[in-house]
Structure 1
């Protein structure tokens, strides 16, 4: 009896190969041929599941935005808070910032994938639509943490400002224009200005 093919697993295997290429060389290096080579399958197999490169990119982005990347990020934040306990009300915000900025090869690869898709999304409405909930979700997370820190200002508005600050720091750190430590110092100065309930007491 022929073995039943798990088509969804095959699709994931192909786009995970695409993400590995993107994480080291950017989207410019992605082609059906290169993805097939990385995945160890034929060009025909890739084309069987994805008729075009754009279709493959959208599926890859949706896969990347699934639970795995968010779970890994949350786990890194929790681990940092355990390693670097602090009584500061903004400690969780600093841990988020410290993990959001690229500081090792694994983080750099993750940020490179993010930046690559963000750049492509500027001219690809389908990718932009897929990314929009991720931006909203990050701002919502920051707002929730800000409220927990007792920030006595408009938490949703401050979350948008903090998200913009972190996104603005990511690229200079990625390309080496700003060191990771200097970027964290910018974040620390910003967090020090937040009026928390503890500071006002």
Structure 2
């Protein structure tokens, strides 16, 4: 009986190879042949799942967004009964490049953002991910206000934008080791404490 192949699992396997290459060597090195070697597959197998590098990269952008989102959503599920500030801090830690996996994801994300300039499909994927995250953070801030944990006069939408900008700015300093992980987390904690009642 022929072996049943999970095509989506194979596509994710290729995406993981792209993320490893992008995190280690930069997205420019993620040529189909190099991706195939990293994934332990033949070039023909990779081309079976992705007809072009652009198609592969569009898939990886979505996969990367889904992977980080899944971890954030899992944290939301575990956050019931936890203070909103504690959850927002753990969300920030998930988004900051604090270990090799998150460093690779952040480098790949930056590379995809640069690549997206002039590619409407990629820009729209990035916009959707940003919109989803911003809305979730604003919702959490609003919940913190309702619970009396965060100041009532805050504008949740604007505070969500500011918090995400703080995380992005700290990440930019973490990647080249200009900033230390503890310093970045302390800065997020300090910012969240300023929102408290």
TM category (shorter chain) comes to: 0.7 to 0.9
Match of 1:173 in 2: 174
Alignment partner of 1:92 out of 87, 90, 93: 87
Alignment partner of 2:136 out of 126, 134, 141: 141
User: Can you give the 5+ residue segments of structure 1 that lack an aligned partner in the other structure?
Assistant: none
Q: CA deviation at 1:3?
A: 4.8
Query: Are the equivalent residues in 2 in contact too, given 1:17–1:38 (CA < 8 A)?
Result: yes
Q: CA deviation at 1:78?
A: 7.1
1:102 partner SS: coil
Match of 1:69 in 2: 68
With normalisation by structure 2, the TM-score equals: 0.81
User: Can you give the 5+ residue segments of structure 2 that lack an aligned partner in the other structure?
Assistant: 146-150
Match of 1:21 in 2: 21
Q: CA deviation at 1:185?
A: 2.9
- Could you tell me how far apart the structure 2 residues matched to 1:98 and 1:14 are? 26
- Could you tell me how far apart the structure 2 residues matched to 1:7 and 1:93 are? 35
* Pair 1:78–1:9, CA change in 2 (3 A): closer
Match of 2:185 in 1: 184
Match of 1:112 in 2: 107
Query: Are the equivalent residues in 1 in contact too, given 2:22–2:29 (CA < 8 A)?
Result: yes
2:175 partner SS: helix
* Pair 1:116–1:12, CA change in 2 (3 A): same
* Pair 1:109–1:73, CA change in 2 (3 A): farther
- Could you tell me how far apart the structure 1 residues matched to 2:103 and 2:75 are? 14
Query: Are the equivalent residues in 2 in contact too, given 1:143–1:158 (CA < 8 A)?
Result: yes
- Could you tell me how far apart the structure 2 residues matched to 1:97 and 1:62 are? 20
Match of 1:36 in 2: 36
Q: CA deviation at 1:132?
A: 0.9
* Pair 1:24–1:141, CA change in 2 (3 A): same
- Could you tell me how far apart the structure 2 residues matched to 1:97 and 1:17 are? 25
1:175 partner SS: coil
- Could you tell me how far apart the structure 2 residues matched to 1:176 and 1:109 are? 14
1:127 partner SS: helix
- Could you tell me how far apart the structure 1 residues matched to 2:118 and 2:173 are? 22
1:141 partner SS: helix
Query: Are the equivalent residues in 1 in contact too, given 2:19–2:104 (CA < 8 A)?
Result: no
Query: Are the equivalent residues in 2 in contact too, given 1:77–1:95 (CA < 8 A)?
Result: no
